[in-house]
């Protein structure tokens, strides 16, 4: 079988007055994979801090302060972004008062194309 790395992105867009701090389940890993980057963007308000979680564990060592109108990115250290098949990815607004928050997680999957069909 031919294996190749693919990057998929899971995205969460939240709006509110302001967006409430909360954790939202967005994806379940079909195969072992790795979160390679977390991105955050906000608009309105003064701040927003975000993170991603595998199960109950934060992917980034420190919450990511979202840019206003431009994406800010963070990279997991060591094995913090590793996911086993069946584990759940959540995207989290940790704090802030933004009116719109977008969180993205880029996930690398090394798997045969048929594994995910």
Q: What is the pLDDT of residues 55-79, one digit of tens each?
A: 999 999 999 999 888 999 999 988 9
Whole-angstrom Cα distance, residue 115 to residue 13? 28
Fold of 17-112: Jelly Rolls (2.60.120)
Tell me what percent of the residues of the chain surpass a pLDDT of 90. 74
pLDDT at 2 over 60: no
Q: Considering the entire predicted model, what is its pTM? A: 0.89
pLDDT score at 45: 87
- For the chain, what is the mean pLDDT? 90
Whole-angstrom Cα distance, residue 47 to residue 69? 12
pLDDT at 3 over 90: no
Whole-angstrom Cα distance, residue 105 to residue 29? 13
Please confirm whether the linkage preceding 86 is cis (ω < 30° from 0): no
Where does the pLDDT of residue 116 fall: very low under 50, low under 70, confident under 90, or very high at 90 and above? low
Q: Which of 3-7, 27-31, 50-54, 64-68 has the lowest mean pLDDT?
A: 3-7
The pairing of strands 64-65 and 48-54 is antiparallel
Whole-angstrom Cα distance, residue 95 to residue 47? 8
Average pLDDT estimate for 12-18: 93
The pairing of strands 88-96 and 33-43 is unpaired
| Short-list 116, 100, 91, 96, CA closest to 29 | 116
List the chain domain ranges: 17-112
């Amino acid at each position: 079988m031919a294996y190749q790395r693919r990057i998929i992105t899971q995205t969460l867009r939240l709006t509110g007055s302001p967006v409430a701090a909360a954790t939202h389940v967005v994806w379940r890993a079909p195969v072992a994979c790795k979160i390679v980057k977390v991105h955050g963007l906000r608009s309105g308000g003064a701040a927003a801090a975000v993170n991603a979680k595998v199960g109950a564990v934060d992917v980034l060592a420190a919450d990511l302060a979202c840019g206003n109108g431009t994406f800010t990115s963070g990279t997991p250290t060591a094995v913090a972004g590793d996911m086993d098949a069946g584990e759940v990815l959540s995207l989290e607004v940790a704090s802030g008062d933004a009116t719109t928050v977008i969180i993205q997680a880029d996930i690398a999957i090394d798997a045969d194309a048929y594994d995910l069909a």
